Structure 1
């Protein structure tokens, strides 16, 4: 990828137009070389630097805090477009926006205001929460420890699946103190005692640096720790709905990328099958039908994501206002997010296969790298599988049983 040259920079506004020429130029530059990066495993540091310089990570920071003041729906419109440009880059930012949503968007003290300013200035925040020793994914009781040491704490432990942290300026870490109280700290990734290892070897999302992070006697100030409370961060019911919908939005973006590549592939074809109904591929009704199916799936995937984002906006506003209906609104957002995942994942995965029906065997060459769309969509879908979502939705529709308030619902 060429050196970053984009001049786009987020301006305090409630309406970042995803179709504006300046923003489209930024997306085009992120998309440049995307397939080659994925095929050759070239880590997208330059693309993340473009995002850092554009201050795109400050979309959800309020205008008076130096951010874009965007709604959740507006943010997810951007995420879909980022997923279309580069699914790895979009995924790298998932944890950043999740941390901003929980602990940075609404500052409570001087420390959180410092975090907000850092994000408003372009900083990216990674995440280190998962421990393989826990029997359940999403368990919030970590083995990583915060041990008092004078006026500070020493952080020790190992985290896995630290998506995006390799590219970040800060990292949020979940840990517990000697009393068992759990909380999170946000610290610079270059602080002494932190080791980042890029050891993710999945079939898809190969460049997200979803690797291992070691913390060895990392000094943490008391002010940098936010201990769990019922109305803060991880204590909020359905607090992971945002993170789940983010992945679904990336799959909606992948569906758009498949449509782009499918249409271009048909237009570029010079040969067709002996028994094809038309000698010109662009006039072949079967190829037209297949591209039409892909286009419809991409539309549906994006539509359900944005509908769920609207519900998440309502829930977030209710929590911000301290309204009595906040939990009910959050449950509705989680329900719509789960339904959206089932639809968007199915269309993205299916479209990734249909792409080969418009190209034939030559489309399977390694050079084309078209298989990355299916691999990436399938990998994203494997996060909190649709089977669990469908079962919980069915249980709710039949018996009125609420969805789980914790975990990725």
Structure 2
């Protein structure tokens, strides 16, 4: 781990003007990149986030951070997602890593990473592999082979979210006679290769492609133990699941704003419409109102579910993982997913109801909202979660102890 001095300027607190300026900067850069063809990644946005050290917002004030709550973090994620949904997605693994550092038991090895977080350094992830193992069973083909002073890492990962934008990449791999370990290594270490081959229909610049590790040196101090989330005394993984729906809430804000601008800027209407000017057409205004309400509903649901995360995370930091609070936060995150997804996708399609055929032009880019939402929602299947919620309500069957809950 490199030694890095903490910057003098304080990490912003909720409501600080730097945050509004950042969001505006991210939105302007996203619009510029879309106008230029949409192939350029959001490097400027990540540089600005690094400069403000926003990866440290959840660090307590006692440790030199601003001590944001989970709910406050989710509010920022929604703002950033409205500006550019790729940007908060890039940070998803990083924020989960910070929570792990503070979860009891605290150890020297975990605490050693806090100066890096406070300095603004970002950690991407290289966890999932393409293969025959069931999703979420925490079985990996990647290996950490013992070597003098540590290990040698070999493997091929897919869905390497944020990896190419970070300073470090976190990798999970099998270690002989130990089981699964996490390794955190610099992204530019010899043997680390990121292949930008993510070709999903949405969230195109999240660095969710392949990362290859070939005989990468890993020091013993760069590893952390891995505890299977399916163990009853381990934290559930509701946070990264709800995180995706914070991004969705921000996207729905963009849907409503883009639809409003589309109606406001139109100069002609259909001959059989209610008014000459689209901006005064009651039918079109009703659609805009429905989209605005959908954005409000999604944000309200996400922030309500995030409040349950605040309780479970506070317990994990102060007295250890509380299974009841973890179960409740998992239930709220699953409810949020089921509640939001159908109306969000419908809203992303309805934007075309107020624009006519010209709204479908590629230059308008309005299809990006549906594609981004569909990609986010496909991270785990809604049908299984709906069934699990029903089984809980009818039969009292607990939600599965699995990483996707």
Q: TM-score range by the shorter chain?
A: over 0.9
Paired residues of 2:360 and 2:367 also in contact (CA < 8 A): yes
Paired residues of 1:200 and 1:211 also in contact (CA < 8 A): yes
Cα separation, partners in 2 of 1:35 and 1:202, compared to 1, 3 Å: farther
Q: Find the counterpart in structure 1 of residue 275 from structure 2.
A: 278
Match status 1:311 vs 2:308: yes
The more displaced of 31-40 and 132-141 is 31-40
Match status 1:257 vs 2:263: no
Residue 351 of structure 1: CA displacement?
1.3
The TM-score, its normalising length taken from structure 1, stands at 0.92
Q: Find the counterpart in structure 2 of residue 179 from structure 1.
A: 177
Which secondary structure state, in structure 1, belongs to the residue aligned with residue 399 of structure 2? coil
**Separation in structure 1 between the aligned mates of residue 174 and residue 354 of structure 2, nearest angstrom:** 53
Cα separation, partners in 2 of 1:234 and 1:364, compared to 1, 3 Å: farther
Matches within 5 A, 1:5-20: 11=10, 15-17=13-15, 20=16
Superposition RMSD in Å: 2.1
Q: Find the counterpart in structure 2 of residue 4 from structure 1.
A: none
Structure 1 portions without partners, runs of 5+: 1-8
Match status 1:372 vs 2:368: yes
Residue 30 of structure 1: CA displacement?
0.5
Q: Find the counterpart in structure 1 of residue 350 from structure 2.
A: 354
Cα separation, partners in 2 of 1:281 and 1:407, compared to 1, 3 Å: same
Deviations 1:120-153 (A, max 9, x none): 1111100011011242112212221111111221
**Separation in structure 2 between the aligned mates of residue 401 and residue 360 of structure 1, nearest angstrom:** 48
Q: Select 1:386's aligned residue among 377, 382, 400.
A: 382
Q: Find the counterpart in structure 2 of residue 44 from structure 1.
A: 42
Matches within 5 A, 1:64-79: 64-79=62-77
Deviations 1:73-116 (A, max 9, x none): 11001111111010011111111111111236778344423311
Paired residues of 2:338 and 2:386 also in contact (CA < 8 A): yes
Which secondary structure state, in structure 2, belongs to the residue aligned with residue 296 of structure 1? helix
Structure 2 portions without partners, runs of 5+: 1-7
Matched residues, number: 396
Q: Find the counterpart in structure 1 of residue 3 from structure 2.
A: none
Residue 35 of structure 1: CA displacement?
4.1
Q: Select 1:33's aligned residue among 24, 29, 40.
A: 29
Cα separation, partners in 2 of 1:30 and 1:391, compared to 1, 3 Å: same
**Separation in structure 1 between the aligned mates of residue 253 and residue 104 of structure 2, nearest angstrom:** 33
**Separation in structure 2 between the aligned mates of residue 121 and residue 297 of structure 1, nearest angstrom:** 38
The more displaced of 105-114 and 217-226 is 105-114
Paired residues of 2:103 and 2:320 also in contact (CA < 8 A): no
Q: Select 1:123's aligned residue among 121, 124, 129.
A: 121
Matches within 5 A, 1:318-337: 318-322=315-319, 326-337=322-333
Residue 221 of structure 1: CA displacement?
1.0
Q: Select 1:401's aligned residue among 381, 397, 402.
A: 397
Q: Select 2:83's aligned residue among 70, 82, 85.
A: 85
**Separation in structure 2 between the aligned mates of residue 403 and residue 234 of structure 1, nearest angstrom:** 13
Which secondary structure state, in structure 2, belongs to the residue aligned with residue 191 of structure 1? coil
Residue 172 of structure 1: CA displacement?
0.7
Residue 185 of structure 1: CA displacement?
1.3
Cα separation, partners in 2 of 1:129 and 1:235, compared to 1, 3 Å: farther
Cα separation, partners in 2 of 1:181 and 1:366, compared to 1, 3 Å: same
Matches within 5 A, 1:90-239: 90-103=88-101, 108-229=106-227, 237-239=234-236
Deviations 1:249-295 (A, max 9, x none): 00011001111111111111101111101111111110110011001
Cα separation, partners in 2 of 1:76 and 1:194, compared to 1, 3 Å: same
Q: Find the counterpart in structure 1 of residue 4 from structure 2.
A: none
